[in-house]
Each structure stands twice: as structure tokens, then as C-alpha cells.
Amino acid sequence: MPEGHTIHRAALDQRPMLVGQRLDVSSPQGRFLEGAERLDGRTCTGIEAYGKHLLYSFGDEALHIHLGLFGVFKTQKCPAAEPKGAVRVRMKSNSHCVDINGPNCCEILSLQEKLALIARIGPDVLRSDADPDRAWSRISRSKTQIGVLLMDQSVIAGIGNIYRTEILWRQKVSPETPGNAITRETFDRLWSDAVHLLKIGVKANAIITVDGVKKARSRYGERVNIFNKPNCPACASDIRHMEMAGRRAYTCDTCQQPS
DNA sequence: ATAATATGGTGAT
DNA sequence: TCACCCTATTATC
């Protein structure tokens, strides 16, 4: 589930459930007992997403959540059901209960640590305050392949493995193109398409990169163009895949040119 | 039914 | 380079 759209969607969903209320915070699984005790009974003052990170503010301190590969948020109305699975954190307001299972990262940050985290994350395509020039300056000066750069959260935040593959295919750019061979015009297209697609992702609460598809049926299915697919929907060529930034990237050598 | 795989990133080795 | 986090879907029998 978790590329940037999932986290921004969670922020939108959970704000009205938690913000402005005193929360009962616990760790049913037991691996966040100290942190839960520290936050228990305090008022949640805001929820903000930065790339794939979610920050629940409690005054100056913040609960920092990163879902990793298989962490999940589960929300329900009160009264809450028994915790299901390994619930690291449960936060209950008067009205709702939010459970977080299997996060990669679950910690309390001081104000200073929170600012440091935000500072090391690149511009987030889903944030209106994002500055694409920061990403452009990194990309245009780098010999690293664009497929690697798009996955580097310090260069550009929010894009994950599926969006990387799909954005490059839609914009007909080979993932193996060096960053410094990307023109400003091409970069602008990549950035705009990322913004466009992740916004759709927030709305649908799913990754959809095929124009005209509205609903998510299965995980891939008709929702993506070439990710995990054998053939290109545009030209029917074989889709080639390679390891890039530690994950499998896909490309169509006919449709996607180096630059 | 059970097994394999992955939309991610950190910290140890 | 690898273990970890331990969910959800997909693949295989």
C-alpha cells in the first residue's frame, strides 16, 4: 500500500478523527510501551505527511510513523474492537480509534529532530509548498540514472517503485537515462505527471496510472501500464526489467528513449 | 491449503 | 549485503 499517496490519504482521513482531542494511547503489541505512556492523555495538535512519513504532533513532540513495506493503518469508530494482529500503537479519541500495525519506524521526535527529518526529505510532490527546483538541481547535476534518482527520497519525496516505473513509461523516458541528460522540459513533465498521478492516488486510495480507469479492482490488473507486466500496452513489445536502487524496475525499450 | 512476494527504509555486519 | 518489520495479495499446489 504505502507510496506517498497512502500517507497523505491517511493524514486527510485521520485529522478529523484525532486532531484537537485528548487521546488514549497504548501499545497492545507491547513494542511501544514507553512511547505510548509518554503520549497517553495528551492532545493531538496536528497530523502532517511529508513524503512517506507521517507526523502526529503533540505540542512540540511528534509521533513519527513510517509504514515501510507492509505497515498498515486501520481506523474505526468507537467503541473499538479488540486489536487485530500486531498493533504497535493504538490511538483513541472520543469518536475514533486508529491502529498502526507493522510500521518500519515508530518513534517520538523532539521539535528539533522533527525539523531535521523534514530537512532531509526532498520536495514532496503532494505538498503545495514543494519546490521542484530543489529536485531539479539535484537531478540535473547527477550522473546517476533517473530511475534511481526518482526513488531517492532526499531528491524527490513520495514516489515509490510502482510510480517510478509508471511515470517514466508515461513520459517515454528510459529509467537508465543519467540525471544530467534530462532536459528541464522533460523534468517538468516528470514532476507534473508525478503530482497528477499521486493526487489521483490520494483520491482513489490506490495507485492508478492508466488514464480513464476510475476504480481499483485488484492490486495491478488494469490499474497500471507496465509494472509487473509482460508486454507494453502501447506497442506490445516485451517489457524488460532490471534491478535499480534495490528494486525491480520495468521499461519498454521501444517506447522509452534515453533522454 | 500453503508459499512466495513486495508499493520501504533503517541499522547492524 | 543482510536482517528486520510481520501485512496483504498473488502464485502454486
Residue-wise pLDDT for A65-121, tens only, equals 999 999 999 999 999 999 999 999 999 999 999 999 999 999 999 999 999 999 999
Take residue A56 and report the three cell numbers written for it.
Answer: 502526529
Nucleotide nearest to A73 (CA to C1'): C7
Q: Tell me whether residue A42 is one of the annotated catalytic residues.
A: no
For residue A193, count other CB atoms closer than 10 A to its CB.
Answer: 18
Among candidate residues A9, A52, A88, A138, the one labeled active-site is A52
What's the rounded mean pLDDT across residues A231-254? 95
Predicted local distance difference test score (pLDDT) of residue A213: 85
Q: What's the CA–C1' distance between A1 and C9, in Å?
A: 11
A102 Cβ within 7 A of any nucleic strand C atom: yes
What's the rounded mean pLDDT across residues A130-147? 97
Predicted local distance difference test score (pLDDT) of residue A212: 87
Distance of CA A64 to the CA centre of its chain: 14
Residue A20 confidence (pLDDT) above 90 = yes
Under the banding of pLDDT at 50, 70 and 90, the label for residue A214 is: confident
Q: What's the CA–C1' distance between A171 and B8, in Å?
A: 24
Distance of CA A240 to the CA centre of its chain: 25
Nucleotide nearest to A31 (CA to C1'): C5
Nucleotide nearest to A87 (CA to C1'): C6
* Contact call for residues A219 and A227 (beta carbons, < 8 A): no
- Amino acid identity, residue A241? H
Predicted local distance difference test score (pLDDT) of residue A1: 65
Mean pLDDT in chain A? 95
**Distance between CA atoms of residues A150 and A154, nearest Å:** 9
Q: Tell me whether residue A2 is one of the annotated catalytic residues.
A: yes
Predicted local distance difference test score (pLDDT) of residue A124: 98
Which residues, listed in sequence order, are joined to residue A241 by a DSSP beta bridge?
A250
Residue A40 confidence (pLDDT) above 90 = yes
For residue A211, count other CB atoms closer than 10 A to its CB.
Answer: 9
What's the rounded mean pLDDT across residues A187-197? 98
Nucleotides of B under 7 A from a protein CB: 6-10
The per-type count for chain A, helices as H runs and strands as E runs, is 7, 10
Interval A155-191: pLDDT, tens: 999 999 999 999 999 999 999 999 999 999 999 999 9
What's the rounded mean pLDDT across residues A23-46? 97
Nucleotides of C under 7 A from a protein CB: 4-10
Predicted local distance difference test score (pLDDT) of residue A219: 67
Residue A257 confidence (pLDDT) above 90 = no
What three-state secondary structure class fits A171? coil
**Distance between CA atoms of residues A21 and A257, nearest Å:** 52
Q: Three-state secondary structure along A77-92?
A: ECCCCCCCCCEEEEEE
Predicted local distance difference test score (pLDDT) of residue A106: 96
Q: Tell me whether residue A138 is one of the annotated catalytic residues.
A: no
